[in-house]
Structure 1
Amino acid sequence: MESLADEAASPESAAELRASLKHLRTEVRGATFVLKLLVCAAITAAGLLFALQPAPWARILGVALIGCMFAHAAELQHEALHNLAFRNKRANTIVGTALGLPMLISFTAYRVAHLRHHRYLGTAMNREFFDYGDQYGDAAGKTGFQRAMDWAARFTMFHHYRVFLANLWHSLLGRDFDGETRTVSRRIRHDHFLILGSISTLTVISVAFGSQFVLWAWLLPLLIVAAPVHALIELPEHHGCETLDTDVFANTRSVRSNRLMMWFTNGNNFHVEHHVMPNLPISRLPDLHLEIRDRLRYFHTGYFDYFRKLMTRQTR
């Protein structure tokens, strides 16, 4: 399905560009992704230990760590939906599904929506899985209050939760989803049932033992940390770019960053590079960046640079 992603100026130019970069292609390394999972799990476990301590500072630190790992897991899920985590498609699906549970993300719904995003980026048909309301920063004709509400909706991920609840209700009624095949609809329903079952089990166990585990280990990290952090990670991708131009160098932004942020965003900072070659392993995106950096139209030297310029309306 990766062939759906033809974002460059024309199918011919996209093919030519990718052909000139084919030397970058390497095999998917499952061991590398397993290491990423282990690091994520270890930090999450540390967060749980802190969050369950009585000291307020420990709980705050724990919630922060867990929430950041929820957001990081969503970026790992993105790698799995492109079948870049493991060579085996089923392994990608199983792990990708688990990674999305904390943030209420259906792996199947995310995958089909995201691949369409690759296909239709730069056109009026483009839609993204994560709906932030004001998706790409079109503030024309809006009052200051309306813009403030747009940012509030974005960083709370209000629309994501609204869509999740609507899709969950749709699933409980056993209905197919508009625009999806019966098989895809069934898998989306399965994902929502799995999420509902996981939350319900966690809640029942917490209540049965008179514990606030579900609050400190899931709900607060999700609402207070994971949602705004995930929104911040995704914000630079296309926000303020020329989103009705099919040239990937016009509709997408890249950010060169330090190794910590490259790990945390799982290479999401090299977003132009990802759209140029969606099936390129994440570890090779820095190499692709070196090949195309002179063509980047929307580029920042770091996340601090991007957000500083965003605040002063200089993001180009």
Structure 2
Amino acid sequence: MDTSNAATRALFARARVTRNDELIFLAKLAVALLISGLGGFLALTGGPLGTSVGVLLLAAMYTHMVELQHQCLHHSAFRRSTPHRPVGFLLGLPLLSAYSHYRVQHLQHHKYLGTPDDSEFFGFEPRAPLTWGALVRGALSPARLGQVAVDAYKSCRGSWTYTKGQIGDRSRRQVVAEYRLFALFLVGTVALSVGGYGLAVLVLWVLPLLLSIPIHFLLELPEHVLCDNDSTDVLVNTRTITGSWLSQWYTNGNNFHVEHHAAMVVPINRLQERHPVAKEWAAHQEDTYVSFYARVVKEANQHRRERHARAADTR
């Protein structure tokens, strides 16, 4: 990393959570809950159109809540550390994103980014060729929900182990406790369905959950894909996107990903202040999400053409 001048030093500077940062996070949380409430109301009381809109709103908010959970992982939402775990757990519950498991693996991602030990919680491999098949598999994420079920089952049995590196005893206990709560939640949804509330479970949780998985994939994809993933320099292995005020809010500042990796404990609402420096020095940057996804489509099409050309040569 080039930290030899004042500009880049400012990019990597730490900052404490202030009362204003905390209030901004609480405001974001309130907005997410209000929109979720509206989505739930429409899903339960609307006709076919209203129900569809309600399900989409819930899916969008469940995804947004995981972006808020991400801020809790870094203990940059509240001035005290205590609220981060309970708030983060509840934010991840609709998408079955276990806070303590996510935190351990995500902090390792920050530590090992650009090395073979890097492993993200939502597991799309940025080093792999960007093919249409890989994109579809990543968007549908067929193995993730199954893995959650396995983790919940092993936690209930007391046999859960961490397979991605080191984990402390306290963190392991927290992960196991949260997966047991997931199991209780799943049993509760089954009980409600059997008890005659199956439609409510379907429109309030199951359908939004399934829709939120590809939405979340699309939000996570720009972070490191098509970057220099064999480098440990955050200025070349991570992307920053300027985005609009809407995308900045919806991703909870995840568009400022170079800025976040440069100083992961800085409250996310303050990363925009560092964006001009990142734009000047980062190797991978986009003005909008649309321009990034256009690059992804171009790359996937290029791989498809190359594959067809190789197949034609072997005939």
TM-score range, shorter chain: 0.7 to 0.9
Question: C-alpha distance in 2, partners of 1:313/1:22?
Answer: 31
1:86 is matched with 78
Does 2:210 match 1:190?
Answer: no
Once the two structures are superposed, what CA deviation does each residue of 1:62-116 show, in whole Å capped at 9, x if it has no partner? 1100000000000000001101111121101110011010111110000010110
Question: C-alpha distance in 1, partners of 2:180/2:203?
Answer: 23
Question: C-alpha distance in 1, partners of 2:11/2:241?
Answer: 20
Once the two structures are superposed, what CA deviation does each residue of 1:243-281 show, in whole Å capped at 9, x if it has no partner? 111111111011111001100000000000100111111
Contact 1:138 1:240 (C-alpha < 8 Å) held by counterparts = no
Distance 1:40 1:54, change over 3 A: closer
AA partner of residue 149 (structure 1): G
Q: Secondary structure at the match of 1:197?
A: helix
% identical equivalent positions: 31
Contact 2:126 2:226 (C-alpha < 8 Å) held by counterparts = yes
What TM-score results when the alignment is normalised by the length of structure 1? 0.87
Contact 1:71 1:226 (C-alpha < 8 Å) held by counterparts = yes
AA partner of residue 275 (structure 1): H
Does 2:235 match 1:249?
Answer: yes
Does 2:288 match 1:298?
Answer: no
Q: Cα offset for 1:196?
A: 1.8
Question: C-alpha distance in 2, partners of 1:32/1:278?
Answer: 18
The CA RMSD over aligned residues, in Å, is 2.3
Q: Cα offset for 1:164?
A: 1.3
Give the aligned length.
296
What TM-score results when the alignment is normalised by the length of structure 2? 0.87
Contact 2:152 2:182 (C-alpha < 8 Å) held by counterparts = no
Q: Secondary structure at the match of 1:110?
A: helix
AA partner of residue 170 (structure 1): K
Once the two structures are superposed, what CA deviation does each residue of 1:137-192 show, in whole Å capped at 9, x if it has no partner? 5228xxxxxx4432222111223223212212221220242332322211111111
Question: C-alpha distance in 2, partners of 1:37/1:176?
Answer: 31
Q: Which consecutive residues of structure 2, in runs of 5 or more, have no partner in the other structure?
A: 301-315
Does 2:159 match 1:175?
Answer: yes
Once the two structures are superposed, what CA deviation does each residue of 1:213-264 show, in whole Å capped at 9, x if it has no partner? 11100000110x2101100000000011111111111110111110011000
Q: Which consecutive residues of structure 1, in runs of 5 or more, have no partner in the other structure?
A: 1-7, 141-146
Distance 1:312 1:213, change over 3 A: same
Contact 2:8 2:277 (C-alpha < 8 Å) held by counterparts = no
1:27 is matched with which residue: 17, 21, 28?
A: 17
1:70 is matched with which residue: 62, 68, 81?
A: 62
Question: C-alpha distance in 1, partners of 2:160/2:54?
Answer: 39
